[in-house]
Amino acid sequence: MKVSFPHMGNAYIALSSLLSNLGAEVIVPPRPTRKTIDIGALHAPEFVCLPFKVNLGDNLRSLQMGADTLAMVSGMWACRFGYYGRVQHQILRDAGFEFDSILLGRDGIGYVYNKFRPTVEGNLTLGWFRAFRHFKRKAEAVDKLEIKSRQIRPFEGRRGSTSRALTEGLSLIHEAPSLEQIDAALSGALGLLEDVELDRDREEPLRIAVLGEIYAVLEPSLNFDIERRLGEMGVMSYPVMSVYKWLFRPLKTDPRITIDEYRARRIAKPYIAYVLGGEEHQTIAGTINAARSGYDGVLHLYPFTCMPENICRTILPRIESEFDIPVLNLCLDEHASPTGVATRLEAFVDLLRQRRRKRPPARIMKARS
């Protein structure tokens, strides 16, 4: 079984570990580029949201690389994400590809569980257990690296050195086959980041919370690598969501994530009374929290026509004025250009710098993990 799945940030590291431990041959498509998005947009419905098009482009690449099974997760609420796999796979079949689908979330747990019976050696439950441990360990390791790189990037002496160290570290983790080697790879990767030359004399960097639709926040090909861009402009960025949170939220194995979700829903309740199915509660609560903990600004990212985030986009101006925090809304689609995004980011950062000069941060925020 040659399994493949679409990209989302660095999720591929944990996911390919899960699948390869289940005995499947994993085909990781190349990281999406503008070309991938163009190919996806060509085959996708006209005004479906952008992640759909990127995923479709990824799937096409995977099939060209010889994948015979495509895996996809499905959301379960009113958001379109719940129908991605079904429609994408139909589009690909209509285009003449033959493959097997694994739709996690729609097909039911039992189906997916048994799917790997032929590939797992020995006991199936033990196989899943082993695969899950590797999956979790890698996801945690990636999360730690991402957090570390975020903290040092605004201070790096040579521009780009953090990102280079991070890429190298991530590939160490990706290649580590066993639990012990993952741990060793993690400490090696952290060491690489430690070695990045820092210029600690710089002024306190601006702090910007990055939030919005999860794929737009986490996928560098879609948001023009916004985290890196901000870091290299000397800005500390705090994504409200992470790949780790996204992977483990539905599994409910980590109480911190469950509590965080619960709190976010409670904070967002006066603004959005019902569940909409996306990250709307994290967007609203994230903005309010950012204001309360003294961030300089909020960057709200969402793909064109995203339903839950469009509702947030309508509500955010009110929060912006009620809580006195600047918010930049960036709507991303296949026509967005890096220059356009860069111009708006630079203008936003300039405004925030001026604002801070007039009004130094009152409270020093606690470092967030």
Binding residues for other proteins (CB under 8 A): 45-49, 76-80, 82-83, 86-87, 90-91, 94, 106, 271-278, 280, 304-308, 310-311, 313-315, 317-318, 331
Q: 298 - beta bridge partners? A: 209, 327
Complex with other proteins: residue 94 or 201, whichever CB lies closer: 94
Complex with other proteins: residue 228 or 300, whichever CB lies closer: 300
Q: What minimum distance in Å lies between the beta carbon of 47 and other proteins? A: 5
Give the 3-state secondary structure of residue 85: helix
Q: How far apart are CA 199 and CA 202, in angstroms?
A: 6
Task: Name the nearest CA neighbour of 146 among 228, 85, 209.
Answer: 228
**φ/ψ (deg, to 5) at 105:** 110, -40
Q: What minimum distance in Å lies between the beta carbon of 57 and other proteins? A: 16
Those residues whose C-beta lies under 8 Å from the C-beta of residue 117, and which sit 6 or more positions away, are: 124
Q: What minimum distance in Å lies between the beta carbon of 109 and other proteins? A: 16
235-239 vs 100-104, strand pairing mode: unpaired
Complex with other proteins: residue 42 or 76, whichever CB lies closer: 76
Give the 3-state secondary structure of residue 255: helix
Complex with other proteins: residue 121 or 274, whichever CB lies closer: 274
Complex with other proteins: residue 132 or 323, whichever CB lies closer: 323
Rg (CA), the chain: 21
Q: What minimum distance in Å lies between the beta carbon of 310 and other proteins? A: 5
Burial level of 151, CB count in 10 A (0-12/13-18/19+)?
Answer: middle
Q: What minimum distance in Å lies between the beta carbon of 78 and other proteins? A: 5
Complex with other proteins: residue 80 or 228, whichever CB lies closer: 80
Which of the 8 DSSP states describes residue 156? B
In the chain, the amino acid numbered 36 is T
- CA geometry: angle 30, 32, 34, nearest 5 deg: 135
Q: What minimum distance in Å lies between the beta carbon of 145 and other proteins? A: 34
In the chain, the amino acid numbered 220 is P
Question: Are 223 and 301 spatial neighbours (Cβ–Cβ below 8 Å)?
Answer: yes
Question: Are 128 and 22 spatial neighbours (Cβ–Cβ below 8 Å)?
Answer: yes
Complex with other proteins: residue 46 or 203, whichever CB lies closer: 46
Q: How far apart are CA 294 and CA 171, in angstroms?
A: 35
Q: What minimum distance in Å lies between the beta carbon of 48 and other proteins? A: 4
Complex with other proteins: residue 35 or 93, whichever CB lies closer: 93
Q: What minimum distance in Å lies between the beta carbon of 114 and other proteins? A: 20
